[in-house]
A = this chain, B = another copy of it.
Amino acid sequence: MEFADVVTARRAIRSYQDRRVPDSEIEQLLDLARHAPSSMNGQPWHFVIVKSLKTKKALAAIKNKFCPTEKQAYPADFLEHAPVVIIVCVDKSRSFGRDVENAVFASSHILLGSHNLGLGSVYMSAYTAAEPELSSEIRKELNIPDGMEPISILPLGYPKGSIPPKELRPLKELMHLERF
Q: Which residues of A contact B (CB under 8 A)?
A: 1-4, 6-8, 10, 12, 27-28, 30-32, 34-37, 40-41, 43, 45-52, 55, 68, 70-71, 74, 89, 96-98, 100-101, 104-105, 108-109, 111-113, 116, 122-123, 125, 128-130, 142-145, 148, 166, 168-169, 171, 174-180
Contact = CB atoms under 8 A, between A and B. Distances in A.
Contacts of A148: 180
Contacts of A46: 174, 176, 180
A55 B104 contact: no
Contact of A109 (B31, B108, B142): B108
Contacts of A31: 8, 171
Contacts of A74: 40
Number of this chain's copies in the assembly equals: 2
A101 B48 CA distance: 20
Given A70-B96, A108-B108, A112-B7, A177 B49 contact: yes
A47 B7 CA distance: 18
A100 B168 CA distance: 20
Contacts of A30: 171, 174-175
Nearest to A74: B40
Contacts of A130: 97
